[in-house]
Amino acid sequence: MSVEFRSGFVCFVGRPNTGKSTLTNALVGQKVAITSNRPQTTRHTIRGIVHRENFQIVLVDTPGLHRPRTLLGKRLNELVKDTYSEVDVIGFCIPADEGIGPGDRWIFEQICAVAPRTTLIVVVTKTDKVSREKVAEQLVAVQEEFGAKAADIVPVSATAGQQIDVLTDVLVSHLEPGPAFYPDGELTDEPEEVLMAELIREAALEGVRDELPHSLAVVIDEVEEREGRPDDDPLLDVRAILYVERDSQKGIVIGKGGARLREVGTAARHQIEKLLGTKVFLELRVKVAKNWQRDPKQLGRLGF
């Protein structure tokens, strides 16, 4: 007897930095969502696709929902809320190593208000960071707070790969029978340029403490194949512009004598070469776009 094929859309939500992008990457098995230890690094709805013989899960990765202070913040929140009402399952991420706080409760209220009929699963993330007793305590706390609305509660560690299969089975169990939305072998439907820009942004944010949290945007200016290369050894020229809001931030990104920008370029180039499967020459420039997060014209130009 053949098993009926199931398919559907799933999004992970939660406070910034609760492990949503890492979880997306662990389920897909490849890096499609950028991960960073700073809040709100995800700016675009990146879909990761988990395809097996009898199911397909399309993962929609959204920015962390937060109380907005800028026009960019408002637009990101609208993006998240639109996503809530369009998916089949919402995975609400609560880290095992932090107590449930007002931010978690606020997001839970938003979910209940915007998508009351969408199946909700609570995913307790980062279980590798605490003892088993602490994980058990957090599961009890989650059950008390959110159990009435949650269809399931699943503890996982994306970085250690623990319980990822269990989570996959739980997600599939809540999807309806239906066709595959994407061909087998596709991992994401995001254009390569968007992914390249995100990888550069991730590299630029790495190791910078609080100077650049949301002030950095990356735009791919040009992508072209280098002429005159042998067929079996192609080279792709990628030129990108990193936009910051102030001159002081430009200095931070470039670093002393350009050292930091070179490090960013090397790290991003390795990731882009992995993504595209070809050699890349990456040229980065840094420009100041004053207060772009609050300016509708500039937001539009930078893709928000």
CA distance 181 to 58: 8
**247 in a known ligand binding site:** no
**159 in a known ligand binding site:** no
Q: Mind listing the domains of the chain with CATH numbers?
A: 6-174 (3.40.50.300), 192-302 (3.30.300.20)
**15 in a known ligand binding site:** yes
Given a cut of 70, the residues of the chain with pLDDT beneath it are 1-2, 31-47, 61-69, 72-73, 76-77, 79-81, 185-191, 207-214, 299, 301-304
What number of CA atoms fall less than 13 Å from residue 202's CA on the CB side? 24
**21 in a known ligand binding site:** yes
Inter-helix orientation angle 102-114/71-86, to 10°: 50
Instruction: Please give the pLDDT value at position 262.
Output: 93
**14 in a known ligand binding site:** yes
**Residue located via tokens 């070469």:** 273
> Cβ(18)–Cβ(95) under 8 Å?
yes
> Cβ(240)–Cβ(219) under 8 Å?
yes
Instruction: Please give the pLDDT value at position 272.
Output: 86
**45 in a known ligand binding site:** no
CA distance 173 to 176: 8
**16 in a known ligand binding site:** yes
pLDDT in tens, 218-250: 888 888 888 888 888 888 899 998 988 888 888
Pick the closest to residue 153 from 106, 72, 96 (CA basis): 96
**Residue located via tokens 């799933």:** 10
**63 in a known ligand binding site:** yes
**179 in a known ligand binding site:** no
Both ends of the chain: CA-CA distance in Å?
48
pTM of the predicted model as reported, rounded to 2 decimal places: 0.60
**279 in a known ligand binding site:** no
**36 in a known ligand binding site:** no
CA distance 137 to 134: 5
CA angle 276/33/46 to nearest 5° reads 95
> Cβ(72)–Cβ(44) under 8 Å?
no
Instruction: Please give the pLDDT value at position 41.
Output: 47
**20 in a known ligand binding site:** yes
Instruction: Please give the pLDDT value at position 211.
Output: 57
β-pairing, 46-52 vs 89-95, is unpaired
Instruction: Please give the pLDDT value at position 40.
Output: 47
